[in-house]
Amino acid sequence: MSGFSAAWLALREPVDHRSRNLTLQNQVVDFLHRRPPVVSGLLHITDLGSGTGSNLRALAPHFGPMQNWTLVDYDTDLLRAARTTLLSWADGVLDSNAPNLIREVGSFLESLEPLVLTKNMKMITVQFRCADLLADYRSILNEPADLITAAAFFDLVAEPWLADFCAALSKPLYTVLTYDGKETWSPPNALDADVLRAFHAHQSTDKGFGAALGPSGAERLQSLLQGMGFTTACAPSPWRMDYHDCALMDQLAMGTAGAAREMGVLENSGIDQWEQARRQASYCEIGHIDLFAYPA
């Protein structure tokens, strides 16, 4: 899979968290509250392509008092960054050698050993699993879990992989922030449409799973799951950014321009002009879709 840096994930996390569709998120929380967990009193969540654990930090405050998370990513550096970030985020850490002892956050060496965290009166066990989802997703989906989660993931995968994934899925799935291809920048620029087409072409190149679905990922995911008998619900979760988010908009402009250049369909001079204009944009909206699905 294409790699993402911990710095990029940290930059986007505040916008990711505020952009999630809260109506759909509340539907997920209510569903889990009504449904008996796999293990009584303990909610199990598996997060695919977890990166530095942003999904956990967004959702754990809304789930029950006893949680067990498995963070799955192919990048050990990101998993180590997840552990470090979670140690800073937590209120405390339970020492595995003395379960009743709360230590101050930051007293543990960075590693991929499991953590037992406390946050807002909740106990959260976190396990870190390094795995390549291209090949290992079946074994991961077969493990006990009350919910499978993912964020900004299903626009990266290919149609054959997604079809196999949906056929293997038997648990509720909650995935957020799948790119849907809609972008609005202000003020408008004459090259907006051309650069966006080139960017979409790049989005459809191989990201580690074969030719990526890109902006059609959420739609295909919903369609395939409905064909498998799942009940599904989708809701928009657009990034809406202004001058408060100038650092993220700056990185988006550079990343989009770089992707457009790689496709070789536009003159570099035009892309350069677009990039400079967009790095000074006053507003940007990037479309995303959140999806919740559960088997009958």
Residues 176-204 pLDDT 10s: 999 999 999 999 999 999 999 999 999 99
Please give the pLDDT value at position 125: 97
Residue in the block written with tokens 């505040």: 14
Q: Is it the case that residue 242 has pLDDT exceeding 60?
A: yes
200 within some domain: no
222 within some domain: yes
Report the alpha-carbon distance of residue 96 to residue 126 in Å, rounded: 12
Please give the pLDDT value at position 296: 84
- Per-residue H/E/C for 204-266: CCECCCCEECHHHHHHHHHHHHHHCCEEEEEEECCEEECHHHHHHHHHHHHHHHHHHHHHCCC
Q: Is it the case that residue 109 has pLDDT exceeding 50?
A: no
CA 104 to chain centre: 29
65 within some domain: yes
Domain that holds residue 87: 6-181+209-240+286-295
Contact assessment for residue 171 and residue 148, using Cβ atoms and an 8 Å cutoff: yes
Closest CA to 182 of 167, 163, 164, 203: 203
Q: What is the average per-residue pLDDT within 228-240?
A: 98
Residues 59-101 pLDDT 10s: 999 999 999 999 999 999 999 999 999 999 999 998 655 444 5
Dihedral sign computed on CA atoms, order 254, 259, 263, 265: negative
Residue in the block written with tokens 């790119």: 179
Residues 113-172 pLDDT 10s: 899 999 999 999 999 999 999 999 999 999 999 999 999 999 999 999 999 999 999 999
Please give the pLDDT value at position 267: 96
Q: Which DSSP category does 9 fall into?
A: H
267 within some domain: no
264 within some domain: no
Please give the pLDDT value at position 1: 45
Please give the pLDDT value at position 66: 97
Report the alpha-carbon distance of residue 52 to residue 126 in Å, rounded: 12
Q: Is it the case that residue 108 has pLDDT exceeding 80?
A: no
Where residue 93 sits, what CATH number does that domain have? 3.40.50.150
Q: What percent of the chain has pLDDT over 90?
A: 91
Residue 76 burial (CB < 10 Å; 0-12/13-18/19+)?
Answer: exposed
76 within some domain: yes
Report the alpha-carbon distance of residue 59 to residue 44 in Å, rounded: 13
Residues 1-45 pLDDT 10s: 446 899 999 999 999 999 999 999 999 999 999 999 999 989 999
> How far from 275 is each of 27, 123, 242, 256, 284, CA to CA, in Å?
39, 45, 17, 8, 13
Total domains present in the chain: 1
Please give the pLDDT value at position 107: 47
Please give the pLDDT value at position 49: 97
198 within some domain: no
80 within some domain: yes
